[in-house]
Chains A and B, each alone.
Chain A
Amino acid sequence: MTKRPVRFYQVGSFAVGNRLLTDDQRTVQSDPNRTNSIDSGHRACQGCGEALGARYALDAAMRAAAGRVVTVNATGCLEVFSTPYPETSWRVPWLHSLFGNAPAVATGVAAALRVKGREDVRVVGQAGDGGTVDIGFGTLSGMFERNDDVLFICYDNEGYMNTGVQRSAATPPAARTATTDAVGPEPGNVFGQGKDLPRIAMAHDIAYVATATVADLHDLEHKVEHAMTLRGARYIHILVPCPLGWGSASSDTIKVARLAKESGLFPVFEAENGRVTSVSPIRRRTPVEEYLRLQRRYAHLFGAHPRPDIVTRLQEIADENIARYGLVNDETEEIPVLEEAKEMVH
C-alpha cells in the first residue's frame, strides 16, 4: 500500500490538523474509543516525555492489534510511576519482571502465545534507555537475532532518570548527569562514547527499526501501527525529553523534542530489514545551540565560562547525522500550504 503524502498543514505550523484528514489517518488519540492503555492518575512528572510517548505508542499498538496486546515492562520510571501498588495505570495486560530482562520476558510471552495458538495477541516490550542500551542490551540483542515476534519500544530520555539522573550509554556528549558532572576541563559526559541503538538494531537485519520523538506524535503513531502490521522482531526508539533530568521546562517537552530532531542531533527515520527506507526531513534547520540552551544539563556551555568549542563539536555531530541520513533536502525551509488547506482553515 502506498502512503498518501499528507500535504495539508495548518497555517503557520507544521502540525497536521485531524479535521483535515480522512478518518483512517486521524490520530488514535482523537478517537473517543481509544483504549487509554496507560490511564490518567499515574505519577509521572509534569511534562514527562515518556508518559506521553507510552500513551501514544500503546494506544496505537492497541488499535492496530484490535485490542489484543500484552505488554512487558522493564524496571524504570515508566514502571514505577505507573504501578504504585495497589494502583495501576495499565489497561492492558502488563508484566514487569526485572530491569535487564524485558526483551527475554517478552520472548517468553510470545512463545507461550504461539504454542497456545493465540497469534492474534501481540507482544510489546517497553524500557527506558538504561533498560535497552545498557543493562537490557544482551537480552535485546538475543531477541533481535532470534527474530522473536516482539515489538520493543525504547523510551529514550538519555539517562537513568528514575535513580536520579545518572549517565547511560544513551547520554549525549557534554550533557551533565549526576555521574558526569559539569566540572573539570571536559564538563559533562565525554565525547566519543555511547551506543547508537537504532543502528545496532538495524545490524540485526530485523524487520523494522524506527526512531521517533514526542514532538511528532502522529508520526509516532504511524510507526507503531506500521510495526504492528509486521511479524518478527521490531524496534522503535522514541526520544522522550525528561524535564527533571534535562533541566527543561515542563511546558517545553514538545519543543525540546522537536529541536532535537530539527537540529539533526536526533535523526528520525525508518528502516526495514537493515536498510533505511525513509527519513523525516528537517523542516527548519536549527543550530544545536537553540536546542541546548533550553536545557540546564548544558548550562555549563553557556554560563560565565562559555564553551563554544564544545557547542561546535555538538554541532558537528548534528551535521554528521544530517549527512548520514540525508535529513536536509530541497524542500527544507518551506512550509507547504496547499490551496485547499488554506480554504479549509478559513
Chain B
Amino acid sequence: MLRQIEGSRAVAETVALCRPEVVCAYPISPQTHIIEAVGVMVKSGRLSPCEYINVESEFAAMSVSIGASAAGARAYTATASQGLLFMLEAVYNASGLGLPIVMTLANRAIGAPINIWNDHGDAMAARDAGWIQLFAETNQEAADLHVQAFRLAEELSVPVMVCMDGFILTHAVEGVDLMTQEEVDSFLPPYEPRQVLDPDDPVSIGAMVGPEAFEEVRYLAHLRQLDALALIPTIAESFATLTGRDSGGLVHPYRTDDAEVIVVALGSVLGTIKDAVDARRARGERIGVLGITTFRPFPRDGVRDALAGASRVVVVEKAFSVGGEGVVLTDVAMAVGGRDVTLHSVIAGLGGRPITQRALESVLERASRGDLERLTFLDLDEAAVSRERSRIAAARRTGPSAENVLYDRATQGSRVAQEQS
C-alpha cells in the first residue's frame, strides 16, 4: 500500500512486519524515530510477541541482541555514528559468533568535531566487522532491504546492517509502498537458529580459540560472505517477483552501457548523481552511474563487469580514510585492477554538507576534461583551511582547530556579536 510516510516510520513499520522478537533500543540521532515507532507498536500490543528493551548504551543494545539471538529470538536494533563505535566490540562479536542480528544504521558523521548530520564515516568504520552492509538509495529501498536483510541474515547466520542516510532518508517524507503482513510472511520464514542455548541440548558458544583453529574460523566467516554474494541477487529476484520492485541486489548500473565515464556511489546521493548524469547525457556525454547496494561483501565481479567499458571512474563517497583516500575507491581499484582505467576519489557530503548537482557537475566537467586529481574534496573551503594552517605555523597555542575554522566560516554578524560580548 503506497503511503506518504517518513523514512524512519517506513522502516519501523516494515521491521514490525518482520516479526522481531527482541528489539533493543538506545536513542541516538538520526535513528530515534525508528526505535520510537517500534516501541509504540510493542507497547500497544500491535507487535506481539516482542520484548522491547530500553538499555543504557549502544554497547548494551548490541549485547542484548547477541544474547537474544543466541537464545533463538529474531533480534533487531538500530544505531548511528558514535553509537556504532560505542558498540563496535559487540558488533564484531555478533558476526564472530554467527548471530543473524539485523541493525539499521542511520548513517551519521563521527566526531570529533561532534556532528549529527549525514555521512558514511560510521559505516566505513565497521566495514571490516564481518557484517553484511547494504546501502539504501531511497526510503522504499530502505524499507525493502530490511525484509531481505532478515532472510539473508538467517539463511547464512550472518548479521546484516542496513545503511540509510541519516536525515536525508530517515527524516524525509516520501511515498513508500509498504508490504502487507501476508507478503512478508510469505517471503520471510520463522527464524530457525543454527545454534541455540537450550537446556535440552547444552552447547558452549564463544569458546576460547587459539592459533590452531582461529584462521579456519575466520576463513569460514569469509566464505559465508562469499555465499552472500551469490544469495543476495537470488533474494532480490524473489523479492522482485513478490513486489515488482528492484530493491536490493549487489549493484545497480544506470546508463552504463556505452559510458566512458562512470560515477560510483552508495546511498541516497545516487539520486542527485543520476540527475547530474542525465543532464550531461542530454549534452551528449557518454556517462553513467554505478550504485553499490551491497558494500560488504564487496561485489568485485559485479563492479568489474559494470565498469568494463569505462576509461574513467569517479567514486563519490561520504567518507575517507584519513591519510589515505576514499574507502570505496580502494575496493573499486581492486575490482578494476589490471585494466587501464583512470580512477578518481571525490570526497563529498562530510558531516552533512549538501552535495549539489551543480557541484557534482563541475567535478564531472573537470573529469571529462582530464584535469581532475586522484583525490578531491567537493566544495572544500580552501581559504579557511589555509588560514588555520597559517595560524598553526605561526604560533604554538592556537587552540582547537574545529572552533577556529567554524569561527572563520561564521557569518559576519555572529562574529561581530562575539567580538562585542
Write the residues of chain A forming the contact surface with B, with a CB cutoff of 8 angstroms.
67-70, 72-73, 79-80, 83-86, 88, 90-98, 100-101, 104-117, 121, 138-139, 141-142, 145-146
Contacts and interface: CB of A to CB of B under 8 A. Distances in A.
A114 B51 contact: yes
Contact of B210 (A84, A104, A107, A115): A84
Interface in B39-63: 49-51, 53-57, 59-60, 63
A87 B206 CA distance: 12
A138 B67 contact: no
Interface stretch (B70-78, B156-164, B288-296): B70-78
A105 B60 CA distance: 8
A86 B210 CA distance: 10
A150 to B, nearest CB: 10
B64 A105 contact: yes
15 contacts: A85-B207, A85-B210, A86-B213, A93-B199, A95-B205, A97-B66, A98-B90, A101-B60, A104-B59, A105-B64, A107-B67, A108-B24, A108-B68, A109-B197, A141-B56
Contacts of B21: 112, 115-116
Contact of B208 (A83, A93, A95): A83
Contacts, number: 161
Given A112-B21, A116-B73, A121-B199, A83 B204 contact: yes
B15 to A, nearest CB: 15
A95 B67 contact: yes
Contact of A112 (B68, B97, B203): B68
B25 to A, nearest CB: 12
Interface string B198-225: 1101111111111011000000000000
B148 to A, nearest CB: 23
B263 interface: no
Nearest to B73: A112
B22 interface: yes
Given A85-B208, A95-B197, A115-B50, 11 more contacts: A70-B197, A93-B197, A95-B204, A95-B205, A96-B204, A108-B64, A108-B75, A109-B70, A111-B53, A111-B64, A142-B56
B65 interface: yes
Given A69-B199, A108-B63, A112-B68, A96 B207 contact: yes
Contact of B22 (A91, A96, A100, A108): A108
Contacts of A83: 204, 206-208
A85 B50 CA distance: 35
A80 B209 CA distance: 10
Contacts of A93: 197-199, 201-203
A97 B64 contact: no
Contacts of A116: 21, 49, 71-73
A93 B93 CA distance: 18
B192 interface: no
A68 B202 CA distance: 10
Q: Which of B24, B68, B197 has the most CB of A within 10 A?
A: B197
A104 B62 CA distance: 9
A22 to B, nearest CB: 28
Contacts of A94: 197, 202-206
A101 B89 CA distance: 10
B82 to A, nearest CB: 15
A318 B257 CA distance: 82
B69 interface: yes
Contacts of A92: 199, 202
A107 to B, nearest CB: 5
Nearest to A102: B63
Contacts of B198: 93
Interface in B19-39: 21-22, 24
Contacts of A109: 67-68, 70-71, 197
Contacts of B67: 72, 95, 97, 104-112
B51 A96 contact: no
Interface in B163-216: 197-199, 201-210, 212-213
Nearest to A67: B199
A90 B55 contact: no
Contacts of A108: 22, 24, 53, 63-71, 73, 75
B208 A80 contact: yes
B90 A101 contact: yes
A37 B212 CA distance: 27
A121 B75 CA distance: 19
B54 A146 contact: yes
Nearest to A139: B60
Contacts of B201: 93
B205 A104 contact: no
Contacts of A115: 21-22, 49-51, 73
B417 to A, nearest CB: 41
A139 B22 CA distance: 17
A88 B22 contact: no
Contacts of B70: 95, 105, 108-109, 112
Q: Shortest 8 CB-CB distances between A and B: which pairs?
A: A108-B67, A96-B206, A112-B71, A104-B63, A112-B73, A101-B63, A142-B56, A83-B207
A93 B197 CA distance: 5
A100 B209 CA distance: 19
Nearest to B56: A142
A97 B63 contact: yes
Interface in B79-123: 89-90, 93, 97
A138 B93 contact: no
A67 B199 CA distance: 7
B204 A88 contact: yes
Contacts of A95: 67, 70, 197, 204-206
A136 to B, nearest CB: 10
Nearest to B48: A115
B68 A111 contact: yes
Contacts of B213: 85-86
B167 to A, nearest CB: 29
A97 B90 contact: yes
B93 to A, nearest CB: 5
Contact of B205 (A69, A96, A106, A112): A96
Contacts of A68: 199
Nearest to A80: B208
A344 to B, nearest CB: 39
Given A67-B199, A90-B204, A101 B22 contact: no
Nearest to B61: A104
Q: Which of A79, A91, A108, A113 has the most CB of B within 10 A?
A: A108
B91 to A, nearest CB: 11
A101 to B, nearest CB: 4
A116 B68 CA distance: 11
Contact of B59 (A72, A101, A112): A101
Nearest to B24: A108
A104 B64 contact: yes
A263 to B, nearest CB: 36
